[in-house]
Amino acid sequence: MQKDFFEEISNDSEIHKLTGNRGCASEKLYQFCETMVASEYRLLIRPFLDVSTLSARLKAEECISTEYRICDGSWHRMLFAVKKGMSLEM
């Protein structure tokens, strides 16, 4: 994720309706959080969604992930992965 831009690799069509498959990362992540994540998990997942700290969090890792519950009660995992050959600088 460079310059607060995302391009989705994989997801189901329901999420595409909400976010599209590319755009402003921070805007779409927070929109996703407010729409899909169960209210009791929103405060817990927001720090994970903070793209301003993503570079530092991925510096020593190939990927980071977190689990959360969505509004229908099911559990999901969100993952950020370093794309090979890409710089982590934003």
Q: How far apart are CA 51 and CA 5, in angstroms?
A: 10
pLDDT tens, per residue, the chain with 90 residues: 557 887 776 666 555 555 567 788 889 889 989 999 999 999 999 999 999 999 899 999 999 999 999 999 999 999 998 877 655 454
| Model pLDDT, residue 13 | 57
- DSSP one-letter string for the chain: --TTEEE--S--HHHHHHH-SEEEHHHHHHHHHHHHB-HHHHHHHHHHH-GGGHHHHHTT-SEEEEEEEBTTS-EEEEEEEPPTT-----
Ramachandran angles phi, psi of 85, nearest 5°: 85, 0
| Model pLDDT, residue 11 | 61
